[in-house]
Amino acid sequence: MQTPSAGSGFSLSDYASIKNGSYGKLLKAYYANQDAEKASSGGDSVQKSAMMKSSADDLRKSAEALIDDELWEKKKIKKKDEKTGEEIEVEDYDWEAITKAVKSFVEDYNDVVEQAGNSNSKDVLRNAVWMTGITESNENMLSKIGITVGKGNKLELDEEALKKADISSFKTLFTGHNSFADKVSMKANSISNAAARSSGTYKCNGT
């Protein structure tokens, strides 16, 4: 195998995901689906690709929402005083917004993983494998905020653990260039483009 170059778009984690077995799992699903795909009409294939693109676009948006710096800034929030029951204004992170953003991300991620396993596009499959590899390499950090990798490479969220997690763990995973969320966003965009190409809707100008 040729050594990945800096400009190739590949990383060591990409190749590790292929070696550690996650590639084999998705590849098995891909070939198991081939007979059914051959028997299906072209319209069905285009519809699947369109759904795949839509799901990948949703994942990219939910990942970008987590990257947004505003989500990780302290705000003036109204809370009830536990002793008096009175409503007071405190400066804190908007944990309701953070929880909602993380839940959306997990749901969109799982949707992409599920649909990628049924895709008839090798490009979609390859990028999905790389995405799950990125996730596997961040398993320890994800577990600190209540996210674990479960059956079929899907994410499982423990909301109680999420609410008790340290804010620094969230910022490490979701903020800045080359963070976990940033990498998933880029892979989701690659999956979307691959799905568009397989459906025949990808134009020469890249739209």
pLDDT of residue 6: 41
Helices 22-32 and 95-117 sit at what angle, rounded to 10 degrees?
50
Using the predicted structure, report yes or no on whether residue 5 has a pLDDT greater than 80. no
| Percent of the chain whose pLDDT exceeds 90 | 61
Is the model's pTM score more than 0.85?
no
HEC string for the chain: CCCCCCCCCCCHHHHHHHHCCHHHHHHHHHHHCHHHHHHCCHHHHHHHHHHHHHHHHHHHHHHHHHHCHHHHCCEEEEEECCCCCCEEEEEECCHHHHHHHHHHHHHHHHHHHHHHHCCCCHHHHHHHHHHHHHHHHCHHHHHCCCEEECHHHCEEECHHHHHHCCHHHHHHHHCCCCCHHHHHHHHHHHHHHHHHHHHCCCCCCCC
CA atoms of 114 and 104, how far apart (whole Å): 15
Structure tokens of 29? 């699903």
- The structure tokens 């069905």 sit at 44
pLDDT tens per residue across span 55-75: 999 999 999 999 999 999 999
Structure tokens of 1? 């195998």
- The structure tokens 């077995």 sit at 21
pLDDT tens per residue across span 6-36: 444 555 555 555 555 565 666 666 555 555 4
Q: What is the CA radius of gyration of the chain?
A: 19
